[in-house]
Amino acid sequence: MLINLENVGKELSFDFLLYPAAYDISFSPFLEYSSRSTHLKAAVVGLLNTLLVSVCGIVMATILGVMLGVLRLSNNWLVSKTAYVYLEFARNIPLLLHILFIYGMIVTVLPPAKKAVGFFDVIYLSNRGLYVPSPVWEEGIKILLIIFLLSISLVFIFYYLAKKKQELTGKTRPIALISVLVVLTPLVAAYFLTDYSITWDIPALQGFNFKGGVAVKPEFLALWFALSYYTSSFIAEIVRSGVLAISYGQTEAAYALGLKPNRTLRLIILPQALRVIVPPLASQYLNLTKNSSLAIAIGYMDLVATIGGISLMQTGKEIETMLIVLCVYLIISLTISAFMNWFNYKTRLVDR
């Protein structure tokens, strides 16, 4: 490779990462970016955009997949068949077509910015995206953020202690209700009982578009929704197979003890089904993350579109840019695999 590069007057070098990128990125919610930023910063922005759509997609796909998998097992014929038709439609059409379809719907069906749909005069939806207020990072919001993080830590500690108590005594605690109170009560008290206030940047129409707030671009929305419901169709079948793998005697025993169907599913069936669900579920999470590279088809500036697309064409560094893209995706995939392997280990059957 080095000899061939030398023959065409090139050398293997990553110095280009420190050169100005000279192109714009329309969606950069985490970092300040301009065309004068370096190719390295453009790559970081692309990586963050990839991680954002992947994490959001995994969360939504998991929720939809579990719901649809349970609906497929419903005794109601209409509900079961409706879920079946939806799943067969979603998973038998190429993902790229789903992405283009959702993006086309957002761009053509939603009104332009001047006729945007407003919600309480602070949230606006148009074909330019979803505009929501954003907090101004002053001293007040920093204090509230610290309180929020401490509350989340207390929730995890309470969850751990409640599970230990349940294992020892069999008594359950209202974990969800108490967790919400632990998080909200300190925040509300700090907001009303102190002088710390939050200043909000409200989006407003200026010219042909909105200024201020946070703009969720249609490219992100289209990619997020398409990845989520496409992957959820596969997760639903995994969940269905996992539930069916549990002996029906478990359900009958739960009913005999007086448990309702929803608690039977949540407390008895799904925890046992996780041992069957988790291994193939890891593959779906990996597929969703790698499929996010199709974002380039609708102009969403992810890792492939930035360092593996525009930066590659501007610098002519094919080998270097592709090495960066491949290594980053490899690290992300190995991280997801390691986490899912750990989770699979925690949910395994314990040998006695």
Residue 61 lies in a domain: yes
C-alpha pair distances (Å), 350 with each of 272, 275, 346: 12, 11, 9
Residue 208 lies in a domain: no
pLDDT of residue 138: 66
C-beta separation of 92 from 227 below 8 A: no
Residue 140 lies in a domain: no
pLDDT of residue 165: 81
In tens, the pLDDT along 184-209 reads: 888 777 777 766 666 777 888 887 77
- The boundaries of the domain holding residue 49 are 2-113+218-346
58/274 Cα distance (integer angstroms): 17
In tens, the pLDDT along 69-79 reads: 989 988 889 99
User: Residue 29 has what DSSP assignment?
Assistant: S
Q: How far is residue 159 CA from its own chain's centroid? A: 23
pLDDT of residue 54: 95
pLDDT of residue 196: 60
Residue 125 lies in a domain: no
Helix boundaries (H) for the chain: 2-7, 39-72, 77-91, 95-109, 139-169, 175-193, 218-244, 248-256, 261-264, 270-291, 303-305, 311-315, 318-346
pLDDT of residue 29: 83
Tokens of 131: 């505009």
Residue 196 lies in a domain: no
- Structural domains counted in the chain: 1
Tokens of 260: 């309702």
Query: CATH number of the domain that 280 lies in?
Result: 1.10.3720.10
pTM value is: 0.84
| Residue 344 β-bridge partners | none
Residue 68 lies in a domain: yes
131/122 Cα distance (integer angstroms): 8
Residue 35 lies in a domain: yes
C-alpha pair distances (Å), 233 with each of 55, 105, 267, 288: 17, 21, 24, 12
Handedness of CA 16, 20, 26, 28 (dihedral sign): positive
58/183 Cα distance (integer angstroms): 24
pLDDT of residue 195: 64
Which ranges of the chain have pLDDT less than 70? Answer: 137-141, 194-198, 349-352
pLDDT of residue 317: 87
Residue 9 lies in a domain: yes
pLDDT of residue 285: 95
